Structure 1
Amino acid sequence: MSAKKRKYLDKYIRFGFVSLQKGDTEVPQCVICYKTLSNDGMRPSRLEHHWRTTHPALADKPKAFFETKRQSLKQAKMDGSGAFRQQTSKVVEASYEIALLIAKCKKDHDTAYLVDISEALNAINLKLQGKNINIIMHHDTILAFMAKLDLWKCRIQNGNTASFSNLDSALIHSYLDSELKKQIFTHLTDLKAEFIRYFQDIVEKREAWQVIRNPFQCEVADVLDEVQEEFLELKFNSSAEEDFKELDIETFWVKYFPVYPLISHQAIRILTMFGSTHLCEAAFSMLVAVKTKYRNR
């Protein structure tokens, strides 16, 4: 006789757990370290044991704190495996790998740091899934985050925890000791290395796409030979420069495609790339909806 399956109750959020569906089984998942327990673990005593032994520093947090974490988890759109859905797969994979490394730590201050870095990673993930964002904006967002990692490393080296609010609060009556400083510095270094590994050509592409970002601040040597003459005509077109200030980047290049087809074609080809599978899926879903609407008429 099979064991009776336990059901998730909304009150379990006070222990920092939400419901996750794995196949036909419902299991509890921690909103901080993302660890899942078995279905049998869906009972207050097991959930509280995990919380008190793994995240003791957050034991006094109000229910609203965990509700916020639940919403962040929903927005990140976790899939049935318990890992982040591959909408911005490269960034997500890097962030999840680092989060797992940090989650193995048991100390209060390590847990506070885990909360901070998880929030930062969720924030960049959501930015990359936003509407009206193109691949150039994706690259800018990633480069900005990588620069922040360098800033955070520098601050941590100097004993400054201002970049990590939860850690800063946890240390209000103590200080950042050398062991913890080394551990956090190592985590940030590993995360930066993951981003570099996944986005090896990001700096090169940023330079190559500069003419698309703003052709009026580029030099002729910055563009390909076959479009240099057309580029010069565009650069010294004062009306086009005024339009560039008023229009969004996509509208600008579409408007001037009939006038400067070679360079505009290159720009539009880049700007129409899907920066994430999430945007690709959303576009195809919209296309299917439109086709269905007209088919039913």
Structure 2
Amino acid sequence: MRRDVPECENIFHKYRADIETLQQQFKCCFHDFHAMQPRIALFTDPLSATVSEQPSELQLELCEIQSDPFFQAKRSERGVSFWRLLQESRFPLLRDFALSMASMFGSTYICESNFSTMKHIKSKKRNRISDDVLFQLMRIGCTNIDIDIQSIVRQQERPQVSH
């Protein structure tokens, strides 16, 4: 920004501390990713991943994949679509590895989403909710089922329509 917009130089000092704080928080949140680099490389491109950098239990199956002409022909397949090509009976450890990597970020999103739902349910005005009621409300709040109330009412012999 300093090169593109020189007039911003005057206000950079105001935001320096905030930016440095954000950088520290980012490093704290994602410090594990450096250690996970070989696993991430394996997940994104298993045919080019370095076998010796991978966990010992995966190395044999990885060697088989990298030497198999079928998988070499499927080099253009990436991510989950590649991992679906693996037979579970032939590559059980690599399949488990791929499932754990693919679900890593989805499970974090689900956890954060459910926590947000709980915060809405158990607000300051509703702080006396018992654990049982909170559990039931969380089950309702976190489900993706759409209920068609109109069709349920139509199926009843004598529905109560006064409400």
TM-score greater than 0.5 by the shorter chain: yes
Match of 2:8 in 1: 176
Q: Following TM superposition, by how much is the alpha carbon of 1:242 offset from its aligned partner in structure 2, in angstroms? A: 2.8
Unaligned runs of 5+ in 2: 115-141, 153-163
Report the residue type matching 2:38 in the other structure. Answer: E
- Larger of the two Rg values belongs to structure: 2
Highest relative contact order (Cα 8 Å, sep 6+), 1 or 2?
Answer: 1
Looking at structure 1, the residues matched to 82 and 8 of structure 2 have their Cα atoms a distance apart, in angstroms, of: 51
Number of aligned positions between the proteins: 120
- Runs of 4 or more, structure 1, over 4 Å off, are 278-281
Change (3 A) 1:184 1:234: same
Q: 1:285 aligns with which of 129, 140, 143?
A: 143
Matches within 5 A, 1:75-94: none
> Deviations along 1:259-285, whole A, 9 cap, x unmatched?
31211211112212324137966xx63
Q: Following TM superposition, by how much is the alpha carbon of 1:177 offset from its aligned partner in structure 2, in angstroms? A: 4.5
Higher relative strand content: 1
Report the residue type matching 2:79 in the other structure. Answer: I
Question: Would the aligned equivalents of 2:44 and 2:79 in 1 still touch at CA under 8 Å?
Answer: yes
- Normalising by the residue count of structure 1, what TM-score does the alignment of the two structures yield? 0.35
Report the residue type matching 1:200 in the other structure. Answer: H
Looking at structure 1, the residues matched to 45 and 57 of structure 2 have their Cα atoms a distance apart, in angstroms, of: 19
Looking at structure 1, the residues matched to 20 and 94 of structure 2 have their Cα atoms a distance apart, in angstroms, of: 39
Q: 2:66 aligns with which of 227, 235, 245?
A: 235
Q: CA RMSD in A?
A: 3.0
> Deviations along 1:82-129, whole A, 9 cap, x unmatched?
xxxxxxxxxxxxxxxxxxxxxxxxxxxxxxxxxxxxxxxxxxxxxxxx
> Deviations along 1:28-78, whole A, 9 cap, x unmatched?
xxxxxxxxxxxxxxxxxxxxxxxxxxxxxxxxxxxxxxxxxxxxxxxxxxx
Q: Following TM superposition, by how much is the alpha carbon of 1:192 offset from its aligned partner in structure 2, in angstroms? A: 0.9
Looking at structure 1, the residues matched to 48 and 33 of structure 2 have their Cα atoms a distance apart, in angstroms, of: 20
> Deviations along 1:197-252, whole A, 9 cap, x unmatched?
22221222233321111111112112111221111010112321332413x42132
Matches within 5 A, 1:128-143: none
**1:255 aligned onto 2:85:** yes
Change (3 A) 1:280 1:214: farther
Match of 1:276 in 2: 109
